[in-house]
Structure 1
Amino acid sequence: MRFLSLVVRTFAILAVLTGAMFRYLGRRLVSGRMDADARDHLRGQVLVSALDRLGATYVKLGQILSTRPDIIPEGIVRELETLQDNVRPIPFAQVQHVIDQDLPPAARARIVSIDPVPVAAASVAQVHKGVLDDGQVVAIKVQRPLAAPQIERDLVLMDLGARVLEWIPSLKLLSLRGSVAQFAEAMHRQVDFEKEASNNRRFAANFADVDGVGVPALVEDLCSRRVLTMAFVDGVRATEPEKVGGDRKLLARRGAGAIQQMVFKDGFVHADLHPGNILLTDAGEVVLIDLGLTAEIPKDLMRPFIETFHALSQKDGKAAARLFYVYAPTVGTKDYAQYEREVTEYFDTFYGKPLGELEASEVVTGIMNILRRHKVQIDPSFTVVHIAMLVAEGLGKQLDPDIDLIEFATPMLLEVVVTAPPGRAPEREVPGAAEAARAAREAKAARRAARRSAQAE
């Protein structure tokens, strides 16, 4: 039965991909000559349409790909960023069935009422508002009954496809199976609400001493692998900041500060961070939700991360180029001098501009374009940081147009760079660095010898 399901799904995927290919070719013929940027946008539009038709696993794949501007052209990234995980809700009877299966009778008895109309519905789960026997209003997140098996089926097919493609010599170096394995791990976390509950507790501890920032409090005895119950937060999603009734400048600083703390202090980052997963309250609180996907920055990468962002904030192109290069998992550039020159010249365009006139998104996006051209890959953890910083800036600018994220982050960077643990050894040296260092040592030794000779005379 499972084999038949895989076969049917394979043909469905092939049909969607074939249709996408013909749509792309047809639009190219109609449009005539196109520049590279226009072609990338067209490819992105066709890809988004195909991923959307293929369902939850592929929508999430597209969303993750949208965080890799170091390897994917900017035009395609912009289109992938439009992917939304919004679907029609399942019947409430199915929701109730999952609750009945997963929660013991004593726990279920605490739920006095559940609104059958969900407040949010996505491909993996939907959220219903409920009331407990003590009067507490809660949000009950319930997994769709078929979500896990459908995702598992797609992951099996992705792994099979990666195995086949790695027979092609030019693709073997891409480590497709490793990439699929990483993606599979992320998807498994999405359908394990016990893992999300664990993430919730960790974020709650990290933000315990931060005013006005937090996560919804869990109702522990009403949580399971497929059901997550937490305090209902009466807030506005950051996608609609104009509806916020609180102090917008305060919210901007709290939101930006929360994201910077995740990145630079805690090293534990919300990996599905976008305005829809941030709630803003009239009381001036910033609440993070949907905590299934997280990224942990390795401790031995914290110092390189901080030094890189410090170089960006100081507009030090030469230092930024070196740090990206020596810590890159893989590099394909044949001309380091040209790569360094492009990064430095790009940074030169910012000289003379006050920090308040710079946007972190502009600086980082330009750097990513150069890294992609020179095939300097960045550590996957950095892409999560990149997205987090872009969200921080976007949220901050919407709530307070005068906020300057780079200047706002500088004091924290200076603080943590002193306390960060020693970083890991670089993956490689800058070409010519060893020879230059040896020449410097030899020159220094020659000067010492000359001084000793002069003293002896």
Structure 2
Amino acid sequence: MTGRLARYKDLAWFAAKYGRADFVTRALHGEESTSADPSAAEAFAKDLESLGPTFIKLGQILSTRADLLPTAYLDALSRLQDNVEPFPYEDVERTIREELGVRVSHAFVEFDRLPIAAASLGQVHRAVLRGSRKVAVKVQRPGIREQIDRDLAAFKDIAVVLDHIGAAKNVDVTRVLEEFRRTLLAELDYREEARNLVTVAHQLRDFEHIVVPLPVDDYTTARVLTMDYVGGTKITAVSRVEWTEVNGEQLADDFFRAYLQQILIDGVFHADPHPGNVLLTPDHRIALIDLGMIGRISATTQEQLFKLILAIGEGRGDDAANVLCVVAERREDFNESDIHRAIIDLVGRFQRTTMREMNVGRVMLEMSRCGAEHGLKIPPELTLLGKTLLHLDEVGRVLVPEFDVNAALRRHASSVMRRRMLKSATPANIFSAALDIREFAERLPGRVNKIVEALAANDLRFKVEVIDQGSIIDGLQKVANRIALGLVLAALIVGAAMLMRVPTTLTIFGYPWIAMALFLAAAAGGFWMAWTILAGDVVRKRVR
């Protein structure tokens, strides 16, 4: 109870500081976000970082919500790091003994007491298994699950209050919190990350310049993850001298192509490839680490995302808007013409930037925000993909400062399309299509026979449904009557004009009486027709 009260105090301080901030009130009420001060965004990120691991993870997830936060806040939150002081080695030994059932000295030939990396959820030690296999062992921080459970319980209480008083008109706070809880608890289960390592390593097995460490199943549990040790340096820390020996262009192209395959072909991708999770190995390859966050995309969504990425890269704003409207859910305030104009303008501005400033991920995040502002409910995978592409661009520019995302898209678009078609041509799909064809072939003779018999008996009928057939016929009759009356009136006027030259002793206003009679008859008929048309319109409006 004391821990929860202390957490409520921290939350109250945070709410008092940011609860009335412009970006918070606009996000909660579904209003358009304005540009934000980058320094204020950085301060917000630092305050989140000071509140501990739960808030750090919350900030990292919020960095994918372009529909809620201004761009400056997305940038600040995407750079959140959770580097903290390591916990004592005695706690490492106790956790390994509890999880693996043996002492550290029995499980490993060597085990470094000092960690090579420490974060809010756990830390990593270098070790050697019996058999001389070098491994990295990630050990979960003691008590971290209990601390996160307390934080989530406090979040839940606040979410219930916010939903009850209607403080968040545009955000289902309870649903967002449930998504956050599920994501965070999955990250606390290291067995999930082990499965992610196996999945991504299998996907990228043909990329010789990319390395993904494989887990050691017998030494992996919910709180201990043992995987191959991959030596290397974070790409942001590699010296300029070493970069001169690296084929950065080849690495950047392979890296981008690998993620296109994950996203558009496999449907499972590493969702957090920021530069801190990418290493340059001593043999000048790229190593991916920390696969706790994985994104998944359905086959249908993959198709639409491929169209969207190509439309953005080629500057086709109208096509990009069409795809966005297809993949998103429409709210009551949706306005199709407004969203098309906004997306066309956004993609146009993107095309006018220089190559160094181009960023497909940034455009996708801006499109997500734009869609939310114009009545679209953006699927989470779209913003997660935008953040992933944003990080890909950052990594690409570290490897090659002039890395051209658009050129890479154009180079690999045909290859991706070909592989997607080959993937769909699986034995199961072919067999299913063959069954459909067989069923069609079996039923075709019977159906043709029925049509021929109906023709022979003069009994072939077509059923055509017409909306309110009687009203349509009545309307056509009225139109025909008015056309006929108009022709009669026109004939009267023409006849009157011709009779004007016929001399007669009886005149009206100095004109032949018969010509004037025809003119008056035509005028009366014209007034009568105008009156019936106007009166009919008034009656129809009242009926509606």
Matches within 5 A, 1:189-228: 189-228=186-225
Change (3 A) 1:98 1:76: same
Q: Secondary structure at the match of 2:341?
A: helix
Change (3 A) 1:17 1:170: closer
Bigger RCO (CA 8 Å, 6+ sep): 1
Q: Structure 1 residue 278 and structure 2 residue 275: aligned?
A: no
Q: Is the 8 A contact 2:112 2:126 kept in 1?
A: yes
RMSD between superposed Cα atoms in Å:
3.0
Distance in 2 of aligned mates of 1:385 and 1:407? 19
Equivalent in the alignment of 2:254: 254
Equivalent in the alignment of 2:67: 70
AA in 2 matched with 1:291 = L
Matches within 5 A, 1:317-328: 317-328=317-328
Per-residue deviation, residues 56-86 of structure 1 (Å, max 9, x unmatched): 0111111111122233111222222332111
Matches within 5 A, 1:45-444: 45-105=42-102, 109-169=106-166, 171=168, 174-242=171-239, 246-331=246-331, 334-349=334-349, 358-361=358-361, 363-364=363-364, 366-368=366-368, 370-417=370-417, 419=420
AA in 1 matched with 2:193 = E
AA in 1 matched with 2:297 = I
Distance in 2 of aligned mates of 1:256 and 1:284? 16
Distance in 1 of aligned mates of 2:337 and 2:411? 32
Per-residue deviation, residues 385-439 of structure 1 (Å, max 9, x unmatched): 1122122221112211333222212344344446366xxxxxxxxxxxxxxxxxx
Equivalent in the alignment of 2:27: none
Q: Is the 8 A contact 2:267 2:296 kept in 1?
A: yes
AA in 2 matched with 1:251 = L
Change (3 A) 1:95 1:166: same
Q: Secondary structure at the match of 1:105?
A: coil
Q: CA deviation at 1:238?
A: 2.6
Distance in 2 of aligned mates of 1:23 and 1:362? 24
Distance in 2 of aligned mates of 1:146 and 1:350? 47
Distance in 2 of aligned mates of 1:12 and 1:263? 39
Distance in 2 of aligned mates of 1:12 and 1:407? 48
Q: Secondary structure at the match of 2:236?
A: coil
Q: Secondary structure at the match of 1:161?
A: helix
Q: CA deviation at 1:341?
A: 1.6
Identity of aligned residues (%): 29
Distance in 1 of aligned mates of 2:64 and 2:116? 27
With normalisation by structure 2, the TM-score equals 0.69
Q: Is the 8 A contact 1:259 1:388 kept in 2?
A: no
Q: CA deviation at 1:89?
A: 0.7
Distance in 1 of aligned mates of 2:103 and 2:144? 27
- Structure 1 residues without counterparts, runs of 5 or longer: 25-34, 422-457
Q: Is the 8 A contact 2:104 2:111 kept in 1?
A: no
Structure of higher CA gyration radius: 2
Equivalent in the alignment of 2:15: 17
Per-residue deviation, residues 250-276 of structure 1 (Å, max 9, x unmatched): 221222222222111111111233111
Change (3 A) 1:129 1:415: same
Distance in 2 of aligned mates of 1:21 and 1:349? 33
AA in 2 matched with 1:8 = A
Figure out how many residues of one structure are paired with residues of the other and give that number: 410
Q: CA deviation at 1:186?
A: 0.6
AA in 2 matched with 1:323 = V
Distance in 2 of aligned mates of 1:285 and 1:351? 32
AA in 2 matched with 1:370 = C
Q: CA deviation at 1:335?
A: 3.6
AA in 2 matched with 1:14 = A
Q: Secondary structure at the match of 2:376?
A: coil
Equivalent in the alignment of 1:5: 3
Q: Secondary structure at the match of 1:109?
A: helix
AA in 2 matched with 1:272 = D
Per-residue deviation, residues 167-211 of structure 1 (Å, max 9, x unmatched): 133626522111111111110111101111111111121112222
